[in-house]
Amino acid sequence: MEGARPDDRIRLAELMAALSLATDLGLGRPLEHELRVCLAALELAERLGLPPEERSEVYYVALLAHVGCTGAAADFASWAGGDDIHLLQGMRRLGLGSGPGEDLPHLARHLADDRPLVERGRLLARMLTGGERAAALMAANLCEGASLLARRLHMPEAVALALTQLMERWDGKGLPGRAAGQAIARPMRIVCVAHDLVAIAGARNGDAALGALERRRGRGYDPEIVDAALAEPATLLGAPGAPDAWERVIAAEPEPVATISAAGLASVARAFGEFADVKVAFLHGHSTRVAELAATAAEGLGCSRSQTAAVRAAGFVHDVGRVSVPNGIWDKPGPLSASERERVRLHPYYTERVLERSRALTALAPLAGAHHERLDGSGYHRGATAAQLGAGARVLAAADAYDAMTHDRPYRPALAPAAARAELGDLVGAGALDKRAVDAVLEAAGSAPLRVRQAQPAGLSDREVEVLRLIAQGRSNKEIARALTIAEKTAGHHVEHIYAKTGVTTRVGAALFAMRHDLAE
Per the prediction, the chain carries an average pLDDT of: 90
Dihedral of CA atoms 88, 89, 91, 93 in degrees, nearest 10, equals 160
Given a contact cutoff of 8 angstroms between Cβ atoms, the answer to whether 465 and 484 are in contact is no
Cα three-residue angle 483-505-174, rounded to 5 degrees:
130
Determine the pLDDT at residue 244. 86
The CA distances from residue 32 to 36, 229, 248, 322, 357, in Å, are 6, 21, 11, 18, 11
The string of DSSP letters for 404-437 reads HHTS-BTTBPPPPHHHHHHHHHHHHHTTSS-HHH
- CA 377 to chain CA centroid, Å, is 30
Q: Once rounded to an integer, what is the mean pLDDT over residues 473-493?
A: 95
Determine the pLDDT at residue 138. 79
Q: H or E stretch including 11? A: strand 9-11
Whether 91 shows a pLDDT value over 90: the answer reads no
Nearest to 127 by CA among 106, 108, 144: 108
Q: What is the residue extent of each domain of the chain?
A: 10-70+137-252, 263-446, 458-516
Task: Let me know if 496 is exposed, middle or buried by CB neighbors in 10 A (0-12, 13-18, 19+).
Answer: exposed
| Distance (Å, whole) CA 296 – CA 290 | 10
The CA distances from residue 41 to 310, 397, 484, in Å, are 35, 41, 49
77: left (phi over 0), alpha (psi -120 to 50) or beta: alpha
Determine the pLDDT at residue 342. 97
Gyration radius from the chain CA atoms: 23
Determine the pLDDT at residue 450. 33
Given a contact cutoff of 8 angstroms between Cβ atoms, the answer to whether 367 and 399 are in contact is no
Determine the pLDDT at residue 103. 59
The string of DSSP letters for 110-128 reads HTTTTS-HHHHHHHHHIII
Q: What is the DSSP letter of 129?
A: I
Interaxial angle between packed helices 245-252 and 33-47, expressed in degrees from 0 to 180 and rounded to the nearest 10: 40
**pLDDT band with cut points at 50, 70 and 90 for residue 414:** very high
Determine the pLDDT at residue 100. 57
Nearest to 417 by CA among 469, 409, 425, 432: 425
Determine the pLDDT at residue 3. 39
Least confident segment among 28-37, 94-103, 132-141, 240-249: 94-103
Domain 263-446 has CATH 1.10.645.10: no
**pLDDT band with cut points at 50, 70 and 90 for residue 105:** low
Are 10-70+137-252 and 263-446 the same fold in CATH?
yes
Write out pLDDT tens, residues 189-216: 999 999 999 999 998 899 999 999 999 9
Bridge partners, residue 217, by sequence: 221
- CA 378 to chain CA centroid, Å, is 29
Extended strands (E) in 139-256: none
Start-end of H helices in 164-205: 186-203
Whether 7 shows a pLDDT value over 70: the answer reads no
Q: What is the DSSP letter of 373?
A: -
Given a contact cutoff of 8 angstroms between Cβ atoms, the answer to whether 252 and 39 are in contact is yes
- CA 492 to chain CA centroid, Å, is 27
CB atoms within 10 A of CB 265: 18
Given a contact cutoff of 8 angstroms between Cβ atoms, the answer to whether 79 and 134 are in contact is yes
Start-end of H helices in 301-337: 305-317, 327-330
| Distance (Å, whole) CA 29 – CA 21 | 9
Q: List own/partner pairs for 410-416 with CB under 8 A and 24 or more apart.
A: 410/282, 410/330, 410/331, 410/332, 410/333, 411/332, 411/333, 411/334, 411/335
| Distance (Å, whole) CA 298 – CA 294 | 6
| CATH value of 10-70+137-252 in 1.10.3210.10, 3.40.50.720, 3.30.420.40, 2.130.10.10 | 1.10.3210.10
Given a contact cutoff of 8 angstroms between Cβ atoms, the answer to whether 459 and 465 are in contact is no
* Domain covering 458-516 in this structure, CATH number: 1.10.10.10
Amino acid identity, residue 50? L
Q: H or E stretch including 9? A: strand 9-11
